[in-house]
Structure formats: C-alpha cells, structure tokens
C-alpha cells in the first residue's frame, strides 16, 4: 500500500512538472528568437513574459525607457510569437531593423489593440498589407538561417573500414 502511494505521488509530481518545464523551454526559445530584434535579452524577456502574463512590458535601450501594458489578456506562446513576428515584419517594411523602444511600443500596441478588439491574426496581417502565412514562413526561415550561422564544430571524417579478408572456400 505504501509503495503504491509513493508511486502515485511521484507520478503526480511528474504530471505537474512536465508542463512547467515545457513552458520555460518555450519561453526561452522565444526570448532567444527575438532578443536581437528587441535590442537586448532583457527587452525580449520583458516582451515575452509581459505578453504571456498580460502584464506591463518595460523596454529600454540604455538611454530611454518606455513601458506598455498589453490590452490583450494572457497570451499563449503561439500568440506571442505571432504578435512579435507581425511587429517585426511591420517595422522591417518601414526600413527599421533595430527599433527603438518607442518604435517597438507604438507598432506592437497597435497590433495588440486590434487583437483585443476581436480581430484575428489573419485580419490584422491583411490590414497591414501582409499575409500571415508569408510573415510566419519568413520568420521561420530567418530563425533557421540564424541557427545555421551558429558555429558548429566540424565533424571528424570517419576512418575507412578495413577490407575484410576473403573467406576460405568450405569443402562440401
């Protein structure tokens, strides 16, 4: 009886811990993905956490600091990714690749307000003159290109296999 209770407690702990670990890993991926666009690791973390939790976002570039409170409710990782991808695409369309905190705030706030007003992501993208699928494919291609640029150690060449000696004929 004691063993079954211990096993049940261990299983319950695992069931609760796995989603938390997955969420932390997903958040880290999003922070890594948007830190160069957001200007810093701290800005990207503030964006991802603020959008996920529906809390105030603080953005700074060392000179100026600005805050925004998302008009949306809490958002899942997929929605956070779409909101940031649309923001990045809109700013790039305007020729802005390293946005200031105010530029980020202004563009993201407009996108989030439309979402809070009940528009779908596709409608928001269309209103910006874009197609959501194209934006997300471009974002994915960029992420893959960044991964390829990371230096990876070269794999050593495999040594050639030695030739097998011929087997002697068996007598029948």
The pLDDT tens digits of the residues spanning 61-70 come to 999 999 999 9
Q: What is the pLDDT of residue 140?
A: 76
Token readout for 122 is: 């596709």
pLDDT, tens digit, for every residue of 132-146?
Answer: 999 998 877 877 776
Domain ranges of the chain: 14-142
Per-residue tens of pLDDT for the chain, all 172 residues: 556 666 566 555 555 544 444 445 567 899 999 999 999 999 999 999 999 999 999 999 999 999 999 999 899 999 999 999 999 999 999 999 999 999 999 999 999 999 999 999 999 999 999 999 999 988 778 777 766 665 556 777 777 877 877 777 766 5
Distances (CA, A) of 163 to 5, 101, 169, 170: 59, 65, 18, 21
The DSSP line for 24-51 is HHHHHHHHHHHHHHHSSHHHHHHHHHHH
Sign of the torsion formed by the C-alpha atoms of 153, 42, 22 and 134: negative
């Amino acid at each position: 009886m004691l063993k079954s209770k211990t096993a049940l407690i261990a299983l319950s702990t695992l069931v609760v811990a796995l989603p938390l670990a997955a969420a932390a890993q997903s958040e880290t991926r999003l922070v890594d993905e948007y830190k160069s666009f957001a200007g810093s690791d701290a800005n990207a973390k503030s964006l991802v956490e603020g959008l996920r939790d529906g809390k105030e976002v603080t953005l700074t570039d060392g000179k100026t600091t600005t805050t925004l409170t998302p008009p949306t409710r809490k958002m899942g990782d997929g929605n956070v990714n779409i909101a940031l991808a649309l923001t990045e695409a809109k700013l790039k369309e305007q020729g802005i690749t390293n946005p200031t905190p105010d530029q980020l705030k202004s563009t993201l706030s407009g996108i989030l307000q439309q979402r809070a007003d009940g528009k779908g992501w596709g409608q928001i993208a269309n209103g910006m003159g874009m197609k959501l699928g194209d934006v997300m494919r471009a974002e994915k291609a960029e992420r893959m290109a960044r991964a390829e640029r990371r230096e990876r150690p070269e794999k050593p060449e495999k040594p050639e296999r030695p030739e097998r000696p011929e087997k002697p004929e068996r007598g029948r």
